[in-house]
Amino acid sequence: MAINFLYPDYEVARNCDRCIVCRACERQCANEVHEYVDTLNKMVCDDAKCVNCHRCVSLCPTRALKIVKSGNTYKENMNWSGKTINEVYRQAGSGGVLLSSMGNPEEYPIYFDKILLNASQVTNPSIDPLREPMETTVFLGAKPHNIERGEDGRIKNNLPPQLKLSMPVMFSAMSYGSISYNAHESLARAAEELGILYNTGEGGLHEDFYRYGKNTVVQVASGRFGVHPQYLNSGAAVEIKMGQGAKPGIGGHLPGAKIVGDISRTRMIPEGSDAISPAPHHDIYSIEDLRQLVYSLKEATDYKKPVIVKIAAVHNVAAIASGIARSGADIISIDGFRGGTGAAPTRIRDNVGIPIELALASVDSRLREEGIRDDVSIIVGGSIRSSADIVRAVALGADCVYVATSALLALGCHLCRSCHAGKCNWGIATQSPELVKRLNPDIGYKRLVNLMTAWQHEIKEMMGGMGINSIESLKGNRLMLRGVGLNEKELSILGIKHAGE
């Protein structure tokens, strides 16, 4: 066998004084890292197979396991990091494009962490959300510019279709195929209980989940998989996916091996055929083309459902958003470069797109400048990690946020970033039945509800501290934000002052 140059990234550290050889680690590792040796009555490990997903660590009943970073090092080099060297070795061995999963993990600025929130002192009272009303409900959709009256003088209802959410959060698009049936069920049930929405992604909607339609955003993407009239009308809104933060400019590819059974039926493509989503929509080469699709979908849904257009945050995002706002879309969704994925070429994921904070600020400013901000609502996603990120996003101008990675973490994901291998030990990013059953939706949905309920409490607390009692009053309220360690240009794009100013 040729030398592959690659040394394991992680080591499984087993405390043999605590290991009782129950073999739970062995039974639960789809990567076959652990093995029982009966002649020794001991467990042994193959570290090279470990993806650091912590399934074994979590299940070990005696806390005998931990995963540590391999101590193996190359000669120190600030230019040639170990990771860079390993990627060269890997490609020299395979000849292939590097694949990655989940969001961009590289060391770029995280603007959310450089923005601080305000609080009331002396001159304006803060509000205790436990004692006084605090509104987190939001409505998404175009808002009418003026009041229209009928011949009888009564106000005409000229409100376009709206989405009502109990809090400014939705679960963002993850297709049935990229995540499991049980993950979808968990998201759907949680959305229903929370009074928010989840998103089908480009995989169609499993017939079992039509019952959650009121809490579902159905997506139409470049592959148009699983799209039919009943599908479009089953959801509360339709989302046209133009791009995705994790892989702006490229399409998707679900290998034929995963197109089996229900997934094939739901996507409406033959079993075993590759599901290729083209990079562009082949019928959209302009805002006018986009408008055609927006109105096709509105026509198909009898103008009763808002249409969302989702784009990746890229360099000229503000101009693109302006065009989308004029295309007839009700809602624009912008996905930042930290957004996750089930699989993307590493180079794209780690090098393309811009931070959501900057994209959001510039889109909001641009639409205001053009007087069309009320024509659309803005949803942002791409690494909303906490309730504080939501508050920042809303203050920067968002109507609502999309969360996916946080939701997956609630379901058990440990961000091992090996989704593309299809052997998710947590039953999320896999279609293998014995792995899928590891995610019991009864448990999963409850954890999602817990997380969002906790965030809602925190949002109320932070808003109360600022003396604000509704999301509407926080929206675009950039005075509530101050930057730390940001330069003039960054502050000006974000439209916020520096701390101390």
Partner 1 sequence: MKRVYVNEKWCLGCHLCEYYCAFAGTNETDMARALKATIKINPKIKIEEKDGVSFAVSCRHCKEPLCVKGCITGALTISADGVITINHDRCVSCFTCILSCPYGAVSPSEDGAVQKCELCVKTAKGQPACVSGCPNGAIVFEERG
Q: Which of 5, 6, 13, 18 binds partner 1 (CB under 8 A)?
A: 18
The reply to whether 228 sits near partner 1 by the rule CB under 8 A is no
- Among 55-63, 131-139, 277-285, 374-382, which window interacts with partner 1 (CB under 8 A)? 55-63
- Among 16-24, 115-123, 167-175, 242-250, which window interacts with partner 1 (CB under 8 A)? 16-24
- The CB-of-210 to partner 1 minimum distance in angstroms stands at 22
Q: Bridge partners of 34?
A: 45
- The CB-of-452 to partner 1 minimum distance in angstroms stands at 20
CB atoms within 10 A of CB 155: 9
The reply to whether 42 sits near partner 1 by the rule CB under 8 A is no
**Nearer CB in complex with partner 1: 58/292:** 58
Residue 314 · residue 243 · CB < 8 Å: yes
Q: Which of 241, 373, 438, 478 binds partner 1 (CB under 8 A)?
A: 438
- HSE, side-chain direction, 13 A CA sphere, residue 243: 27
The reply to whether 22 sits near partner 1 by the rule CB under 8 A is yes
Q: Which residue has the tokens 């060269």?
A: 88
- The CB-of-491 to partner 1 minimum distance in angstroms stands at 48
Q: Which of 37, 443, 454, 479 binds partner 1 (CB under 8 A)?
A: 443
**Nearer CB in complex with partner 1: 112/445:** 445
- Among 200-208, 380-388, 429-437, 490-498, which window interacts with partner 1 (CB under 8 A)? 429-437
The reply to whether 434 sits near partner 1 by the rule CB under 8 A is yes
**Nearer CB in complex with partner 1: 432/477:** 432
Cα distances (angstroms) measured from residue 461 to each of 215, 305, 389, 396: 26, 33, 14, 18
**Nearer CB in complex with partner 1: 145/437:** 437
- The CB-of-321 to partner 1 minimum distance in angstroms stands at 43
- Among 163-171, 289-297, 330-338, 432-440, which window interacts with partner 1 (CB under 8 A)? 432-440
The reply to whether 17 sits near partner 1 by the rule CB under 8 A is yes
Token pair, residue 208, equals 């079992």
The reply to whether 433 sits near partner 1 by the rule CB under 8 A is yes
Q: How far apart are CA 163 and CA 181, in angstroms?
A: 25
The reply to whether 37 sits near partner 1 by the rule CB under 8 A is no
Cα distances (angstroms) measured from residue 379 to each of 195, 244, 296, 321, 398: 17, 13, 22, 12, 6
Hey, which residues between 89 and 108 contact partner 1 (CB under 8 A)?
A: none
- The CB-of-21 to partner 1 minimum distance in angstroms stands at 8
- The CB-of-23 to partner 1 minimum distance in angstroms stands at 7
Nearest to 174 by CA among 160, 164, 188: 188
Q: Which of 28, 136, 200, 266 binds partner 1 (CB under 8 A)?
A: 28
Q: How far apart are CA 181 and CA 379, in angstroms?
A: 25
Pairing assessment for the beta strands 377-381 and 331-335 based on DSSP bridges: parallel
Residues 6+ away with beta carbon under 8 Å from 297: 220, 232, 238, 240, 307
The reply to whether 499 sits near partner 1 by the rule CB under 8 A is no
Burial of 190 (0-12, 13-18, 19+ CB in 10 A): buried
Site string for partner 1, 58-87 (x = CB under 8 A): xx-xxxx-----------------------
Type and span of the H or E element at 498: strand 497-498
- The CB-of-423 to partner 1 minimum distance in angstroms stands at 15
DSSP code, position 345: E
Q: How far apart are CA 8 and CA 325, in angstroms?
A: 49
Size of interface with partner 1, in residues (CB under 8 A): 23
Nearest to 391 by CA among 451, 287, 480: 480
**Nearer CB in complex with partner 1: 232/428:** 428
Residues 6+ away with beta carbon under 8 Å from 480: 117, 118, 395, 466, 468, 474
Q: Which of 11, 12, 24, 391 binds partner 1 (CB under 8 A)?
A: 24
Would you say the C-alpha torsion 139, 230, 448, 386 has a positive or negative sign?
Answer: negative
CA 205 to chain centre: 18
Q: Which residues bind partner 1 (CB under 8 A)?
A: 17-20, 22-24, 27-28, 41, 58-59, 61-64, 433-434, 437-438, 440, 442-443
